[in-house]
Chain A
Amino acid sequence: AQSVTQLDSQVPVFEEAPVELRCNYSSSVSVYLFWYVQYPNQGLQLLLKYLSGSTLVKGINGFEAEFNKSQTSFHLRKPSVHISDTAEYFCAVSDRAGKSTFGDGTTLTVKP
Chain B
Amino acid sequence: ETGVTQTPRHLVMGMTNKKSLKCEQHLGHNAMYWYKQSAKKPLELMFVYSLEERVENNSVPSRFSPECPNSSHLFLHLHTLQPEDSALYLCASSQDDRDLEQFFGPGTRLTVL
Contact = CB atoms under 8 A, between A and B. Distances in A.
B93 to A, nearest CB: 11
Interface string A95-108: 01110111111000
Interface residues on A, range: 20 to 34
Interface residues on B, range: 20 to 34
Nearest to A43: B104
Interface-centre pick from B4, B92, B106 (highest chain A CB count, 10 A): B106
A38 to B, nearest CB: 8
A43 B109 CA distance: 11
Nearest to A96: B98
Interface stretch (B14-22, B41-49, B63-71, B78-86): B41-49
Contacts of A102: 42-43
Interface in B1-56: 4, 6, 9, 40-43, 45
A28 to B, nearest CB: 18
Interface of A: 4, 32, 34, 36, 41-46, 49, 51, 90, 94, 96-98, 100-105
